[in-house]
Protein backbone atom coordinates (compact mmCIF):
# COMPACT_ATOMS: atom_id res chain seq x y z
CA UNK A 1 0.00 0.00 0.00
CA UNK A 2 1.40 3.45 -0.87
CA UNK A 3 2.67 5.56 2.01
CA UNK A 4 1.76 9.20 2.56
CA UNK A 5 4.50 11.70 3.43
CA UNK A 6 3.62 11.34 7.12
CA UNK A 7 4.26 7.55 7.01
CA UNK A 8 0.59 6.55 7.22
CA UNK A 9 -0.96 4.26 4.66
CA UNK A 10 -2.62 6.15 1.83
CA UNK A 11 -5.69 4.60 0.26
CA UNK A 12 -5.90 4.67 -3.50
CA UNK A 13 -9.11 5.97 -5.03
CA UNK A 14 -11.39 3.26 -6.38
CA UNK A 15 -11.84 3.64 -10.14
CA UNK A 16 -15.51 3.47 -11.12
CA UNK A 17 -17.23 3.71 -14.48
CA UNK A 18 -20.83 4.93 -14.10
CA UNK A 19 -22.85 4.33 -17.27
CA UNK A 20 -26.32 5.81 -17.15
CA UNK A 21 -28.88 6.69 -19.77
CA UNK A 22 -31.62 9.29 -20.26
CA UNK A 23 -33.74 7.57 -17.58
CA UNK A 24 -31.12 6.72 -14.93
CA UNK A 25 -28.67 9.56 -15.43
CA UNK A 26 -24.98 9.02 -14.68
CA UNK A 27 -25.09 12.23 -12.58
CA UNK A 28 -27.52 10.47 -10.24
CA UNK A 29 -25.25 7.42 -9.99
CA UNK A 30 -22.19 9.60 -9.32
CA UNK A 31 -23.95 11.72 -6.67
CA UNK A 32 -25.26 8.62 -4.91
CA UNK A 33 -21.83 6.98 -4.90
CA UNK A 34 -20.19 10.09 -3.44
CA UNK A 35 -22.93 10.41 -0.83
CA UNK A 36 -23.10 6.75 0.23
CA UNK A 37 -19.57 5.47 -0.41
CA UNK A 38 -17.35 8.46 0.13
CA UNK A 39 -15.00 10.78 -1.65
CA UNK A 40 -12.07 8.39 -2.34
CA UNK A 41 -13.55 7.59 -5.72
CA UNK A 42 -12.29 8.28 -9.23
CA UNK A 43 -15.46 8.18 -11.32
CA UNK A 44 -15.81 8.35 -15.08
CA UNK A 45 -19.33 8.79 -16.40
CA UNK A 46 -21.26 8.29 -19.60
CA UNK A 47 -24.93 8.51 -20.55
CA UNK A 48 -26.37 6.24 -23.24
CA UNK A 49 -29.27 7.31 -25.49
CA UNK A 50 -32.04 5.05 -24.12
CA UNK A 51 -35.06 5.64 -24.16
CA UNK A 52 -34.60 8.10 -27.03
CA UNK A 53 -33.08 5.19 -28.94
CA UNK A 54 -34.52 1.74 -28.16
CA UNK A 55 -32.48 -0.91 -26.38
CA UNK A 56 -31.97 -4.34 -27.89
CA UNK A 57 -29.80 -7.42 -28.11
CA UNK A 58 -26.03 -6.85 -28.17
CA UNK A 59 -23.93 -10.00 -28.63
CA UNK A 60 -25.15 -12.45 -25.96
CA UNK A 61 -27.06 -9.95 -23.75
CA UNK A 62 -30.53 -8.42 -24.08
CA UNK A 63 -32.12 -5.04 -23.37
CA UNK A 64 -28.82 -3.21 -23.83
CA UNK A 65 -28.17 0.35 -24.94
CA UNK A 66 -24.95 1.33 -26.66
CA UNK A 67 -22.27 -0.89 -28.13
CA UNK A 68 -19.59 -3.23 -26.88
CA UNK A 69 -16.98 -1.07 -28.58
CA UNK A 70 -18.08 2.05 -26.71
CA UNK A 71 -17.86 0.31 -23.34
CA UNK A 72 -14.57 -1.42 -24.20
CA UNK A 73 -13.00 2.00 -24.89
CA UNK A 74 -13.75 3.01 -21.29
CA UNK A 75 -13.21 -0.07 -19.10
CA UNK A 76 -9.42 -0.29 -18.97
CA UNK A 77 -8.29 0.08 -15.34
CA UNK A 78 -11.85 0.29 -14.02
CA UNK A 79 -12.47 -1.61 -10.76
CA UNK A 80 -16.23 -1.12 -10.41
CA UNK A 81 -18.54 -1.05 -13.39
CA UNK A 82 -21.93 0.50 -12.53
CA UNK A 83 -24.47 0.44 -15.33
CA UNK A 84 -28.17 0.51 -15.98
CA UNK A 85 -28.35 -0.66 -19.61
CA UNK A 86 -24.85 -0.85 -21.12
CA UNK A 87 -23.98 -4.20 -22.70
CA UNK A 88 -21.72 -6.01 -20.25
CA UNK A 89 -20.75 -8.92 -22.46
CA UNK A 90 -17.99 -11.50 -22.25
CA UNK A 91 -15.97 -9.38 -24.67
CA UNK A 92 -16.44 -6.25 -22.51
CA UNK A 93 -15.43 -8.17 -19.38
CA UNK A 94 -12.32 -9.54 -21.09
CA UNK A 95 -11.29 -5.94 -21.85
CA UNK A 96 -12.02 -4.86 -18.27
CA UNK A 97 -8.61 -5.88 -16.94
CA UNK A 98 -9.09 -4.59 -13.38
CA UNK A 99 -12.84 -5.03 -12.78
CA UNK A 100 -13.73 -6.48 -9.38
CA UNK A 101 -17.47 -5.74 -9.24
CA UNK A 102 -20.32 -5.18 -11.69
CA UNK A 103 -23.38 -3.32 -10.36
CA UNK A 104 -26.66 -3.15 -12.27
CA UNK A 105 -29.63 -1.39 -10.61
CA UNK A 106 -32.23 -3.58 -12.30
CA UNK A 107 -34.31 -6.45 -11.02
CA UNK A 108 -33.49 -8.46 -14.14
CA UNK A 109 -30.00 -7.57 -15.37
CA UNK A 110 -30.33 -9.21 -18.79
CA UNK A 111 -27.80 -6.72 -20.18
CA UNK A 112 -25.06 -8.27 -18.00
CA UNK A 113 -23.43 -11.62 -18.75
CA UNK A 114 -23.38 -12.64 -15.09
CA UNK A 115 -21.77 -15.99 -15.85
CA UNK A 116 -18.83 -14.36 -17.62
CA UNK A 117 -18.46 -11.83 -14.81
CA UNK A 118 -18.35 -14.62 -12.24
CA UNK A 119 -15.80 -16.56 -14.30
CA UNK A 120 -13.61 -13.44 -14.38
CA UNK A 121 -13.84 -13.10 -10.58
CA UNK A 122 -16.04 -10.01 -10.73
CA UNK A 123 -19.33 -10.75 -9.00
CA UNK A 124 -22.34 -8.90 -10.28
CA UNK A 125 -24.90 -7.40 -7.95
CA UNK A 126 -28.34 -6.13 -8.78
CA UNK A 127 -30.77 -4.00 -6.89
CA UNK A 128 -34.25 -2.74 -7.43
CA UNK A 129 -34.93 0.80 -6.28
CA UNK A 130 -38.15 -0.05 -4.44
CA UNK A 131 -36.42 -2.90 -2.61
CA UNK A 132 -33.65 -0.59 -1.47
CA UNK A 133 -36.12 2.01 -0.25
CA UNK A 134 -38.06 -0.61 1.74
CA UNK A 135 -34.95 -2.11 3.31
CA UNK A 136 -33.62 1.32 4.33
CA UNK A 137 -36.93 2.32 5.88
CA UNK A 138 -37.01 -0.78 8.09
CA UNK A 139 -33.64 -0.15 9.74
> Mind listing the pLDDT tens digit of every residue in the chain (139 residues)?
444 445 555 568 999 999 999 999 999 999 999 999 877 899 999 999 999 999 999 999 999 999 999 999 999 999 999 999 999 999 999 999 999 999 998 888 899 999 999 888 888 888 765 444 433 333 3
Look at residue 121 in the predicted model and tell me its pLDDT.
86
Look at residue 2 in the predicted model and tell me its pLDDT.
47
In-domain check, residue 6: no
Look at residue 137 in the predicted model and tell me its pLDDT.
34
Give the count of domains, the chain. Answer: 1
In the sheet that holds 124-126, the strands lie side by side as: 41-47, 14-20, 80-83, 101-104, 124-126
Look at residue 113 in the predicted model and tell me its pLDDT.
95
Look at residue 7 in the predicted model and tell me its pLDDT.
52
In this structure, the dihedral spanned by the alpha carbons of residues 75, 80, 81 and 84, taken in order and rounded to 10 degrees, is: -160
Domain span at 55: 14-137
Look at residue 17 in the predicted model and tell me its pLDDT.
98
In-domain check, residue 8: no
Look at residue 125 in the predicted model and tell me its pLDDT.
85
CATH code for position 24? 3.40.50.720
Nearest Cα to Cα of residue 16 among 98, 131, 73, 72:
98
In-domain check, residue 26: yes
**pTM, entire model:** 0.83
Amino acid sequence: MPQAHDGKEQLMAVKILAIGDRFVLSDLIVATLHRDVGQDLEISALDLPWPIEPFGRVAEVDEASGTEELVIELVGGIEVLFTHLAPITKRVLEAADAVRLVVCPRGGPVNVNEEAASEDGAPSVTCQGATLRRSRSTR
